[in-house]
Amino acid sequence: MDTTANKLLESVLKPLNINHHQLVNDSHKHSGTATDSHYNLVLVSDDFFGIGPVKRHQQVYALVGDLMNNPIHALALHCYTTEQWQAKQEKIPSTAPCLGGSKAG
């Protein structure tokens, strides 16, 4: 796992009592030379119970703010309670393909 990914996980796993996570580096789907800049992150925690999706994302971004814009350009967040994650059959949502830069269609 790359250093950026390690920093990202260290920033969120303990403070949010995460009991399951999946982190995918999607940088290869995007234009440019950055290899560790686009991530797809699933976080599962019962601490998310009773909290809407926007507030969940705000909690995560508050913890990883120093990593955003440099080195992380894009972070797709998927935050669930254990029950919600099981209902999704524990499948990580895919991210949309990049439409910017030299890979535009």
In this predicted structure, the answer to whether residue 7 has a pLDDT above a threshold of 80 is yes
Q: Is the pTM of this model over 0.95?
A: no
25: pLDDT strictly greater than 60: yes
Residue 69, Cβ neighbours under 10 Å: how many?
Answer: 9
How far apart CA 28 and CA 6 sit, in angstroms, is 18
Query: Measured at the alpha carbon of residue 57, what is the angle toward residues 56 and 61, in degrees to the nearest 5?
Result: 125
Judged against a pLDDT cut of 60, whether residue 6 lies above it is answered with yes
Q: Residue 90 pLDDT > 50, yes or no?
A: yes
In one-letter notation, the amino acid at residue 101 is: G
The pair phi, psi for residue 4, each rounded to 5°, is -60, -45
Q: What is the mean pLDDT of residues 9-18?
A: 89
pLDDT digits (tens, 9 = 90+) for 33-56: 667 778 889 999 999 999 999 999
Predicted pLDDT at 31:
64
Q: Are 35 and 27 in contact (CB under 8 A)?
A: yes
Contact 4, 72 (CB under 8 A): yes
**Answer CATH for 3-90 from 3.30.300.90, 3.90.25.10, 3.90.1150.10, 1.10.10.60:** 3.30.300.90
What is the C-alpha separation between 99 and 82, in angstroms, rounded?
A: 33
**What's the Cα-to-Cα distance from 87 to each of 41, 44, 81, 90, rounded to whole Å?**
18, 12, 10, 7
